[in-house]
Amino acid sequence: MKTFSWGRRKPQQGPAQRPVPRREYLPGEREALLIGILLGTDTDVRLDEQYDAASDLAAFPSDAVVAALARTAGDPAQPDETLVDLCAESIAEIWIHRGAVDHDLLARLTPRGRREAERTVAHRAPELLAR
């Protein structure tokens, strides 16, 4: 006859976990990788990776980043509204960091992107929206 132990189970002992070393990036390299992910195609990258890249790019206030974000947020054929929102929000974050809104670029965004960028700036730095 079998007997059962109804007490606590011992935790499984697995292989020792080694910390994974963090990769060091050269200046501009992480920014370029994120732009590549953002502008990738459906066959290259997953949509959730593009979302992450769009959000992460707000930390890189360069003209190249703004151009990549604007390419997505200003594309009327872009089918994913969340991606447009994230790109427009990152553009707004960069404008807030720079202390100035690019009104010409704002006008070139899709209506949805424009609303999201204006909403973000109005919430965090409304004085920047005045021309």
Q: What one-letter code names the amino acid at 76?
A: P
Give, as one character, the DSSP assignment of residue 14.
-
Q: What one-letter code names the amino acid at 120?
A: T
- pLDDT tens-digit profile, the chain (131 residues): 555 555 566 556 666 677 878 888 788 899 999 999 999 977 889 999 999 999 999 999 999 999 999 999 999 999 999 999 999 999 999 999 999 999 999 999 999 999 999 999 999 999 999 86
Instruction: Read off the pTM.
Output: 0.81
CA-to-CA distance for 129 and 76, rounded, in angstroms?
23
- By residue count, the chain amounts to 131
Of the CA atoms within 13 Å of residue 22, those in its CB half-sphere come to 4
